[in-house]
Amino acid sequence: MRFLNVLNANIRREYIMLKRYLPNTIAMLVTFYVIFLGMFFGISLVGDPSTQDTNIQYVIVNYIFWFMTMAVVNDIGWQITNEATQGTLEQLGMSPMGIWKIMSTRLISTTVLDFVMIVALLYLSMFTAGQWLNVDVISILPVLILTLISMFGLGLIIAGFTMILKQIQAFLQILQFILAGLTFVPLSVAPFLAYFPFVKGIDMVREIMINGVSINEFAMSDILILVFNAVFYFALGLYVFLSCERYAMRKGLLAHY
């Protein structure tokens, strides 16, 4: 019950932040839409006409997931940095809930609100390109949830290091391009990436949205890899975060920026 109360408070907090700084929210959405337009017109002008439709569909799915991945993975690092600069990180550490639970609810709340914007961008992109993907909610939702869990794990790892290092903005900027690479590279080119966080899930969603595959058509090995990635990376992320938190508390790093 306490966790649900914290989750509700953080959802309200994130909504107020998006609403209060509405110009920044709009600018973020416009920026990503302009990036899509650049990709779309680039394919339309110089791409192979015989594969143009498939390439555009591929770009739509990948760029939407790139936006989602950055929102989920990078955001918690920025959250920790902001808490440290504002001098409130130590207060979170003194909360009965603990920092990791509060940050987890922040992750969930930002993901829920970002998901609304992502769906809007998805349909706007499909309308712009004239390419309507297979939005099979029954098939996409379980794959998406497991993919998000592995993203949460990666986000917790970054948050843990941020508690100790404080300033990792340069790394987060570089990470955007790494995430873009992991999002856009197909598993057929690099099969070993299936065991990286969220890559397998994105590949499965591509199959659903572009090729019309249903979740029942995936091999059991695909489902097992997806579940393994979710459990492994979330457990790893939580372990790293708690280890970094203990180190930061032992060294007195929570109270100082």
With respect to residue 221, please indicate whether it lies within any of the assigned structural domains: yes
Look up residue 86 and give its amino acid: Q
Residue 1 is encoded by which pair of tokens?
């019950």
Residue 51 is encoded by which pair of tokens?
């594969």
> What three-state secondary structure class fits 62?
helix
User: Is residue 201's pLDDT more than 80?
Assistant: yes
The span from the CA of 146 to the CA of 42, in Å, is 33
Residues 6+ apart with CB under 8 A from 175: 73, 74, 158
pLDDT tens digits along 27-55: 888 888 888 888 777 776 665 666 677 78
The string over 209-238, giving b where at least 16 C-beta atoms fall within 10 Å of a residue's C-beta and e elsewhere, is bbeebebeebeeebbebbeebbeebbebbb
At residue 204, φ and ψ (nearest 5 deg) are -70, -40
User: Is residue 255's pLDDT more than 80?
Assistant: no
The span from the CA of 40 to the CA of 29, in Å, is 16
CA angle 216, 221, 222 (to 5 degrees): 60
Q: What mean pLDDT do residues 148-154 have?
A: 91
> In the chain, how long is the greatest CA-to-CA distance?
61
What's the first-to-final CA gap in the chain, in angstroms? 33
User: Is residue 257's pLDDT more than 60?
Assistant: no
With respect to residue 217, please indicate whether it lies within any of the assigned structural domains: yes
Residues 6+ apart with CB under 8 A from 179: 66, 69, 70, 73, 74
Q: What mean pLDDT do residues 161-177 have?
A: 79
With respect to residue 96, please indicate whether it lies within any of the assigned structural domains: yes
pLDDT at 200: 92
pLDDT tens digits along 70-94: 888 877 777 787 777 777 777 777 7
The span from the CA of 175 to the CA of 243, in Å, is 22
With respect to residue 257, please indicate whether it lies within any of the assigned structural domains: no
Any idea which residue has 């993975």 for tokens?
Answer: 73
User: Is residue 3's pLDDT more than 80?
Assistant: no
pLDDT at 48: 62
pLDDT at 40: 74
pLDDT band at 168 (very low <50, low <70, confident <90, very high): confident
The span from the CA of 39 to the CA of 164, in Å, is 38
User: Is residue 227's pLDDT more than 90?
Assistant: yes
What is the overall mean pLDDT for the chain?
83
pTM, 2 dp: 0.87
pLDDT at 47: 58
Percent of the chain with pLDDT over 70: 95
Look up residue 212 and give its amino acid: G
Q: What mean pLDDT do residues 214-243 have?
A: 92
Q: Where in the sequence is the domain holding 56, given as residue range(s)?
A: 2-251
pLDDT band at 145 (very low <50, low <70, confident <90, very high): very high
Work out how many domains the chain is built from and give that number. 1
Residues 6+ apart with CB under 8 A from 148: 72, 111
Q: What mean pLDDT do residues 65-74 have?
A: 84
pLDDT at 236: 94
With respect to residue 31, please indicate whether it lies within any of the assigned structural domains: yes
pLDDT tens digits along 92-106: 777 777 787 888 888
With respect to residue 256, please indicate whether it lies within any of the assigned structural domains: no
